Structure 1
């Protein structure tokens, strides 16, 4: 039976109102992929200064056009600041003319799906991938989602080529018949950094079969070990190559490094794709998707406040990741597997195959009040990956993460003893 009226819920954040609220002191939620309050608090002062700086310029020099429909790609000055900063961080050029301002990576993905791919086409995804991206894809009910095997160094190229080659067709309606969606740098949920050989192989296949590669690059600058030679897969799609056509989109966001509520991201796209996205109904209807806040972010960079805040996030994440993985390496049961990530947000743990991480989650909540996300949530069928679970290091301070990791390992040891193989 349908409800007759909507019910108002006075919620304060995305995680409010659910059973595993990250602000509930009695629960340690190691599933949440978001920065904690201790990191966000300095944004209040920084954004106040940037807002004053931005609006003063608007009033005196720019006719208050920040409140007008913005250019479809976003104001040049905003894109220039983003391009300048990330060119330095990637040690690889980002061109402002290739950028389109979005409200974040999920909206960027939705724009690409709704604009560039034939609705009878195919989306290839890693066998475990970002669950909200999967949710977004499933809303396009005529699209076919195909999982591809994932190895410790990235996607399995043989499996990808086999599945792509069997499904390729000539689209008469859209630019692309198929898309491969991935998170090649500090993958969500596995933490994998795709190897250079895998990245080169993906680009080679994309050119051969003319499919589009869409990369979520939201963790790319969060490297805690030696910096990758090329920080993102797009850099392997080299414009000087004789067979270059432009096959890769980099989908970026400030959600992980400034704050999710800022709602500013960007797509970095090749020249053959930019006019299609700029000409979409989404962009033409209202111009820049976030003209006002993007202007404030411009001032944040001009005042060097964004750089300072991002550095603070980075140092905190690095400390938290290194401390948490050290505990897990020392105290996880020998029958479990951990590949320590060299960057990003997430740790992917494998438990013995006869166990189910969903059942262990129930035990963990009962015994230790520790929540995580079980592997099946990241699979297309919702069942594969029962022997895995994902932890996040982003939300809590190091001390709380270390204590939680130790208690989680203790709970896992006890759970394995209570549930031996063959029982």
Structure 2
């Protein structure tokens, strides 16, 4: 029998299963009210537009392009559309500044591979997106806590990284309605982040997966847009913007993009060539057609639906969660972050929640690079109706009140 452990690379020991991917299996159980998966509601997908787009992409001479190999950079038609969208966000760029990836998750993997040597440091939120930790972790980095609103100096970050045997290579964040907290970093925080990155001479990875899902409040310019204004244009920036169609049009087509200076895009193209040559030609051709025709209307549609669900969750939390519990109040996105009373074990609570209350959520510990946050959890409201949200949060509140006995 083959002893696989004897031949695996050292990085393989750092790879672990996603708690979220495992929890998604609960969605197949009809009696479970799930707040676990941060997924869009399939009832909102523009299915008719995709049917038309695929038929058009496969008609006449289009089939040759849709079914053939393509350039690693991605569909020129799709990249041209994206340059227009980035311009609306304040980023002036051309198709040469954009690489199409197989979902933004592939982009994170490529960026980890491009920047990280063993023992280098990645600055991440505390908590941060679990998928980013998984993507970066394979390249054997250290993680350090990124909080642009503290007074921690670049000297301190650099010293800590050097003591661990490497350099600070990038700061990663999702500045708008972050996964998992739902929080948004204000413009002052984004400017401080860029100042810190300048002092450290490191890259900034901006995860813009939820950029389009703002329900109220005042929009904040992307970090890349602020970087362009500071530095005089995209070719002088240190920020890489990772975008995705998964939260607006379709996650199943697995299409995302990176927007950055041409120098770093050209290096990512080499990784794309080695990884999978290019993303699906047919999917890109269909996505370009759908984006050109229904993107704005589709975004309005999902915003309206998710706003109602966000409001229902916040109201239910206010009505049913016991004293001593706190939660975020996001202006957009898909998530509410809950802090349970100190000493509460969210992972243990989940087991009872599934078995007795028939609800599911994601324990927060998975989102912390150091395994802390045992008393936190993430709730997603995007794929559940307002009625079920109200019922599920009522059950959750009763369960938390039952397991947590305040000190007298």
Instruction: Classify 1:310/1:86 alpha carbon distance in 2 versus 1 (closer, same or farther; 3 Å).
Output: farther
For residues 359 and 218 of structure 2, what CA distance do their matches in structure 1 show?
Answer: 32
1:136 aligns with 2:129: no
Name structure 1 gaps, 5 residues minimum. Answer: 5-13, 170-175
- Cα contact 1:157–1:201 (8 A) shared by 2: no
Count residues in correspondence.
Answer: 390
Instruction: Classify 1:163/1:70 alpha carbon distance in 2 versus 1 (closer, same or farther; 3 Å).
Output: farther
- Cα contact 1:28–1:369 (8 A) shared by 2: yes
| CA apart distance, 1:256 | 1.4
For residues 358 and 16 of structure 1, what CA distance do their matches in structure 2 show?
Answer: 15
What is the RMSD of the two structures over their aligned residues, measured on CA atoms? 2.9
Q: Deviations over 1:177-211 (max 9, x none)?
A: 51111111111111110011110011111122111
Match of 2:104 in 1: 105
- Cα contact 1:168–1:209 (8 A) shared by 2: no
Q: Deviations over 1:53-86 (max 9, x none)?
A: 2223xx33x6823333322211221111123245
Match of 2:55 in 1: 52
For residues 250 and 291 of structure 2, what CA distance do their matches in structure 1 show?
Answer: 15
Match of 2:8 in 1: none
State TM-score, norm by structure 1.
0.83
Matched residue of 2:288: which SS? helix
Moved more, 237-246 or 177-186: 237-246
For residues 277 and 19 of structure 1, what CA distance do their matches in structure 2 show?
Answer: 31
Instruction: Classify 1:19/1:325 alpha carbon distance in 2 versus 1 (closer, same or farther; 3 Å).
Output: closer
1:325 aligns with 2:314: yes
1:35 aligns with 2:34: no
Instruction: Classify 1:163/1:396 alpha carbon distance in 2 versus 1 (closer, same or farther; 3 Å).
Output: farther
Matched residue of 2:151: which SS? helix
| CA apart distance, 1:349 | 0.8
- Cα contact 1:186–1:342 (8 A) shared by 2: yes
| CA apart distance, 1:366 | 3.3
Match of 1:406 in 2: 394
1:159 aligns with 2:152: yes
1:421 aligns with 2:404: no
State TM-score, norm by structure 2.
0.86
Match of 1:346 in 2: 335
1:291 aligns with 2:281: yes
Name structure 2 gaps, 5 residues minimum. Answer: 5-18
Higher helix share: 2
Instruction: Classify 1:63/1:409 alpha carbon distance in 2 versus 1 (closer, same or farther; 3 Å).
Output: closer
- Cα contact 1:190–1:348 (8 A) shared by 2: yes
Instruction: Classify 1:363/1:101 alpha carbon distance in 2 versus 1 (closer, same or farther; 3 Å).
Output: same
- Cα contact 1:100–1:268 (8 A) shared by 2: yes
Match of 1:79 in 2: 79
Q: Deviations over 1:152-192 (max 9, x none)?
A: xxx444337355321567xxxxxx85111111111111111
